[in-house]
Homo-oligomer: A and B are copies of this chain.
Amino acid sequence: MKAEMLCLGNELLIGRTVNTNATEISRELTKLGFTFSHHLVVEDDKETIVDALRWIHSRRPDLLVITGGLGPTFDDIQMDCVAEFMGVEMEFSEEAMALIHERYGDDLVNEARTKMATLPKGSIPLRNRVGTAPGVISRFEGMTIASLPGVPREMRSIFYKEMIPYFKEHFETKEIHELGFTAYGVGESKILELTEEVRRQFPDCYFKSHPHREDDRLFLQLHVYGYVEEETVRAAAEAWRAAISEITPDVTNISHVFTDDFEGEMHLES
């Protein structure tokens, strides 16, 4: 499944904020079987954004995830740009208004609520449990457009609680498992042959080695992954580790490579 990522926000382009959203979202969707061929960050300018949407669409992805520009202020233009790109009108959504009301009651001024409840015609709003604007799902010529806010805490709430279940329902997602270990005192050339042998035994697994050198000490980071049962990946990692242990005794235990605790938004400010 082909995916693309579009992130809106001048704070990313002036180097004030590190784009951890792109990393986190593509990491999670990679684990579900999506493949990203681009991440694109674009300035908060309607023409530039619509132009970027057209370019992305020309690559015919199954899924486009957009972050940023969903809030109530004048420079939150993601929905406008998506509607313009799709060639549809913006339309007030009772469903979106109900979600916003559920969270804020009458706490927000009318104008802000109405803006955030006005979506590209035919779109589906998704509950935002921690912030103001709902997430949104739109569909255009076989491409699903998944709209998220840029604030990581809000992005995460919608992404994990609403969007991933939607993707699991509407795409043929799979689950990746990845395990890794480190071998010291050995270079890549030494393990080529034995890796080939293990690879033949586990044809559904992928084997990767990353050579490093620290203080003149050689070591390899070794990863096995696959869209198969975790036990299969573990068996492959264990077979690989056993073979490498015969060359060097200095091999770490096998552990999960992906972690679920994420550093979150990073600012470069003092």
Chain B residues, CB < 8 A from A255: 270
The answer to whether A14 and B36 have CB atoms under 8 Å apart is yes
Distance in Å: Cβ of A218 to nearest Cβ of chain B = 14
Chain B residues, CB < 8 A from A43: 36-38
The answer to whether A270 and B263 have CB atoms under 8 Å apart is no
Give A226-270 as 1s and 0s: 1 = Cβ < 8 Å from B's Cβ atoms.
Answer: 000000000000000000000000000001111100110010111
For the complex, would chain A's binding face be called helix, strand, loop or mixed by DSSP majority? Answer: mixed
We find that the number of chain A residues with CB closer than 8 angstroms to chain B is 41
Chain B residues, CB < 8 A from A13: 26, 30, 36-39
Give A156-185 as 1s and 0s: 1 = Cβ < 8 Å from B's Cβ atoms.
Answer: 000000000000000000000000100000
Q: Which of B55, B180, B258, B270 meets A268, CB within 8 Å?
A: B258
Interface residues of A (CB under 8 A from B): 12-20, 22-28, 30, 36-43, 45, 48, 52, 55, 180, 255-259, 262-263, 266, 268-270
